[in-house]
Structure 1
């Protein structure tokens, strides 16, 4: 195993270097045999990374403690599923996962139906540079097949916070998003090298970018869900630097997905699109640097200074490469075929949407990096916490919500105010009525009320688009409502898939605003038989019990729960003591319904008859997870669509303009 594992890594370095050289030589000499041989090298890299991945999974699953990585992250009594997910618990395994996914993406690209496209060899070279870097870094500083000097009787075990279903899904989805962004980056650089600044590279990468974006979305949503259930502080997003690092590329890719529509229709915003793709890719490297450098304090960080230095060097290399290619092709990039005809148009709203998203990304980046900047300039490290991010991002995200409500109602090219008001009338009425209702029922907090009303406006504007489309189709075809809805989605997947994504964001926004503005919280110490009252809930403490499971000691606090005077059962808040870990883990007791979560944490206890509990009532938190599912569903629909070629869409736009449409 040791020999095969290390051999697969060392051979990977050689074959990646070999493939790059053959691609370059084949392009220079126009030798298809060399290019085909390089393509075969990519297939070999997929095989080698698969072998290394399988061997590490086997070592983890069978407790081969002679390997340092296995001994550091697993133990005999660890359930098999968490032995396997320890694959990405540490630096070495997570780097191998990244490499494996990168090789898979590259293999799919090289052997896709576009393999004969002139851009593909250049794309492959850029992807192979990433692969070569990861092979080298793994061998030098993160080898998962490194042996121990003496074989321990048992391993150290897995961090209790990582023994959760979120550990199975969150890192993998996030890495699929991170790695996926290398694809549009590679196509963008290849298009620049070949001086092909039409929208072909966008057509070729649209699905790849959507896949990366949806995995980033899933990674962030699952990460929030995991934190909410596991960390025991009652929240789902702490604006931690590493959380921010995964949010940054999501913001910039979201901007890119909107602005590409303008380039597809009119050949505009080329500079924006190239810049956003490059920035998004570089932000994935930046996030990885943060995780592995130890320069910022984070519960998610691996904190390996050597790896951070390697990633910094590679990031600088890619920045220099990108700048060189962009600057040498800038005259070509800045040629726009059609200017924006009116400031009051869908094109302008998309551009404003981009500015808001990029502005939000800059605000998050600045807040994340300010502690380092302040320490470098003044010698004092100033911590930037959630208050900064919430104060800065709240108005930015509110502006984004309002713009998302306006954009579907504005016409392309040039809109009229009268027509817009006519289209926006019912959504505006819905927003105003919702604000009035919130005030009438005693809801306080002006910013929260404005935010919720704006979200209702955005939600209503998208429902109106569905209603108008279904009504027009039924009028033309006499179909039933169900059939018209299905046909509308089938014929316009990209448009209505995007609308479903926006509706998902509206649902998430309601959950985020409500859970921040209207949370109820109490910390109480009670004896057996005494009650904790919060909102409409009463919790009666029934005492503590102790038992063991898989060698771990568990302290359980039972609380008889009633809602508005009616019993809703018993919930159990727990502390788990692991033999291989110094700190106990918290198991939160949660009772969920559609409008709120009862969230109970066992904080401490003096005896079996007296304990302290932190109890929260978090409104509409479940809407966040449901909204995330809607976003994934909408993206899936959009991925199915888009069969019309870019060139056809672009020509249609030119024809419409000539016709005066």
Structure 2
């Protein structure tokens, strides 16, 4: 008997663990050191909890569907809302012992506790990644259609038009590419060329998608088949929101990790004074 483990299984297992991790990232840094006083912890969590609940309520009223992604966005807002208070608390503690402004106090607090504040930056990157993954998984859309040259089809606000079909043959492979004009809401996004490559040693064609990246979404064009006369092709258009933010999240996590692990300046040990020379030796010399 063969059992296949696919995406639904991993979603059921991974999503609850990911949500629990996000909650711990928000609550953990706020727990008082040495003793978890419920009253103090509740006071620190009051504002972030209100921000998270307001985010969930606002997204629900806006018509955003899906319990999982909306809950992820709310928990992300909760975690992000905890971070400014921790930076402010560090600056406030420095100002109590030094007569300095807020900007310098914040800089001193951050440089003195690199691991803490670098870790908070890493938390921000993890939250950004969680939001991007939730959005791309829940709100992505795609469509596939067979097009004659000159035909179009739309997915969401994007329209793909088959302009032409090209082929190229070399000693190693034969490549067929479709020239597809992509537009969004009437704005031209250029002509893309998804392709299929056929190799003598491979039993199946290898596809090369074309990607149009934007600040808030990636659009993927995939060529799945072409007729023998090279007059029609089957094109798949997939829209994945917030995928570019995974790169931003990765950069934020790397920056936070480097800041947390960067070695600070160590005070130089004091140079010991030379031993005193006896008076008799001074006279002899």
Q: TM-score, normalised by structure 1?
A: 0.38
1:595 aligns with 2:216: yes
Answer whether contact 2:145 2:234 (CA < 8 A) is retained: yes
1:563 and 2:195 correspond? no
1:506 corresponds in structure 2 to 127
Structure 1 contact 494–642 (Cα < 8 Å) conserved: no
1:493, 1:641 within 8 Å by CA — same for their partners in 2? Answer: no
- What residue in structure 2 maps to residue 441 of structure 1? 62
Find the counterpart in structure 1 of residue 272 from structure 2.
none
Q: Deviations over 1:206-245 (max 9, x none)?
A: xxxxxxxxxxxxxxxxxxxxxxxxxxxxxxxxxxxxxxxx
Q: Which residue of 1 aligns with 2:278?
A: none
Residue in 1 that maps onto 2:236: 614
Q: Partners in 2 of 1:471 and 1:563 — Cα distance?
A: 49
Q: 2:251, 2:110 → 1: CA distance?
A: 18
Question: Greater share of helix residues, 1 or 2?
Answer: 1
Is the contact between residue 48 and residue 81 of structure 2 (CA under 8 Å) also seen in structure 1?
Answer: yes
Are the structure 2 counterparts of residues 404 and 528 from structure 1 closer, same or farther at C-alpha, using a change threshold of 3 Å? same
Q: Which residue among 225, 233, 236 is the counterpart of 1:604?
A: 225
2:72 maps to 451
User: Cα distance 1:460–1:545, how it changes in 2: closer, same or farther (>3 A)?
Assistant: same
Q: Rg larger in 1 or in 2?
A: 2
Q: Taking structure 1 as reference, are residues 526 and 457 closer, same or farther at Cα in structure 2, changes over 3 Å only?
A: same
**Structure 1 position 627 matched with structure 2 position 249:** yes
From 464, 472, 475, the equivalent of 2:85 is 464
Residue 636 of structure 1 pairs with residue 258 of structure 2: yes
Correspondence for 1:491: 112
What SS does structure 2 have at the residue aligned with 1:513? Answer: helix
Cα distance change of structure 1 residues 603 and 486 upon mapping to structure 2, 3 Å threshold: farther
Are the equivalent residues in 2 in contact too, given 1:494–1:641 (CA < 8 A)? Answer: no
Q: Confirm whether residue 586 of structure 1 aligns to residue 189 of structure 2.
A: no
Deviation, 1:533, is 0.5
Q: Alpha carbon RMSD of aligned pairs, Å?
A: 2.4
How far 1:621 sits from its partner (Å)? 1.2
1:573–1:589 Cα contact (<8 Å) kept: yes
How many residue pairs are counted as aligned between the two chains? Answer: 264
Q: Distance in 1 between matches of 2:196 and 2:4?
A: 30
- Distance of 1:474 and 1:538 partners within structure 2: 57
Gaps of 5+ in 2: 267-285
- Structure with greater proportional strand content: 2
1:414 aligned residue (13, 30, 35): 35
Query: 2:167 touches 2:176 (CA, 8 Å); kept in 1?
Result: yes
Q: Hey, what's the Cα distance between the residues in 1 that align with 2:184 and 2:95?
A: 46
Tell me the equivalent position of 1:360. Answer: none
Superposed, 1:514-525 pairs within 5 Å as 514-525=135-146
Deviations 1:591-637 (A, max 9, x none): 11221111111111114221112211111111222212222221111
Alpha carbons of 1:541 and 1:422: their partners in 2 closer, same or farther (altered >3 Å)? same
DSSP 3-state at the match of 2:194: strand
The 8 Å contact of residues 590 and 598 in structure 1, kept in 2 or not, is answered as yes
Q: Which runs of 5+ in 1 are unaligned?
A: 1-379, 645-661
Q: Are the aligned partners of 1:531 and 1:540 in contact in 2 as well (CA < 8 Å)?
A: yes
- Could you say which structure has the greater relative contact order, defined with CA pairs below 8 angstroms and 6 or more residues apart? 2
Verify: 1:426 aligned to 2:47, yes or no: yes
For the residues of structure 2 that align with 1:506 and 1:474, how far apart are their CA atoms? 30
TM-score w.r.t. length of structure 2: 0.83
Shift of 1:459: 2.0
